[in-house]
Structure 1
Amino acid sequence: MLIYKILRPGEWAALQQTGETMGAPIDVSDGYVHFSTLEQVRETTAKHFSDEPGLFVLAFDADMLGDALKWEPSRGGALFPHLYAPLRLTDVRWSRPLPLGLGGHMFPDDMT
């Protein structure tokens, strides 16, 4: 199963340069890296990144993240994937730009 992380341009560039990160400021503050499922990622992006241009969506294989990935209740009681370990560039399955259009961010048609 793929799970998704939204990164700002500087966060994505830093991950590419250093090979790992503890995530965005909210991730560092919360002590884990926030992910979303396919069903959650659009709402997450609208809620937390609505006006931000230049975003990237990154896909990760949940099974490959091992025991550090925990499924915990969050928004509306839904289970969200949280990674209690650094986010590693080697774990990225794919990344794609997430352009900001008139109706919000435009996700790729094929997110699998």
Structure 2
Amino acid sequence: MIFHITEQSIWSAAQSSGDYRAPSLETEGFIHLSERSQVLWVASQFYAQTSGLLLLGIEPAQLAAELRYDTVPGHGTFPHLYGPLNLDAVVQVWPFEPQANGHFVMPS
């Protein structure tokens, strides 16, 4: 399973439209994803004081768009989805709120 952090409002809009398009798809050409071991680092770097978040669990074998693993200089290799995320590839959705100290914990 791979993961994506998003805002509840963006995920709700995807439910209406039939597919998920993160803002980065328009600005960078892909949707940022993470391996399990990368999720907490991404959350602390980019979402530390953000509420209203969800963590999407995605089954890579069900993706309709191209999945690539790209090197992020200084940070390793990350999965990126080069197209919209088809909703049937999302197999789990968890609330993903920072704790009082701003840190995140992976859902069980």
Offset of 1:67 from its aligned partner? Answer: 6.6
Moved more, 98-107 or 30-39: 98-107
Q: Which residue does the alignment assign to 1:64?
A: 62
Offset of 1:43 from its aligned partner? Answer: 0.4
Q: Distance in 2 between matches of 1:40 and 1:94?
A: 17
Q: Which residue does the alignment assign to 1:6?
A: 5
Offset of 1:66 from its aligned partner? Answer: 5.8
Q: Distance in 2 between matches of 1:69 and 1:99?
A: 27
Offset of 1:56 from its aligned partner? Answer: 0.2
1:107 and 2:70 are equivalent in the alignment: no
Q: Distance in 1 between matches of 2:46 and 2:20?
A: 19
Which deviations, in whole Å up to 9, do the C-alpha atoms of 1:45-73 show, x marking residues without a partner?
11111110110000111232267000110
Q: Percent identity?
A: 27
TM-score (norm 2): 0.89
The answer as to whether partners of 1:54 and 1:100 remain within 8 angstroms in 2 is no
Moved more, 4-13 or 60-69: 60-69
Larger fraction in helix: 1
In structure 2, runs of 5+ residues without a counterpart are none
The answer as to whether partners of 1:73 and 1:80 remain within 8 angstroms in 2 is yes
Offset of 1:41 from its aligned partner? Answer: 0.7
Offset of 1:76 from its aligned partner? Answer: 2.0
TM-score (norm 1): 0.86
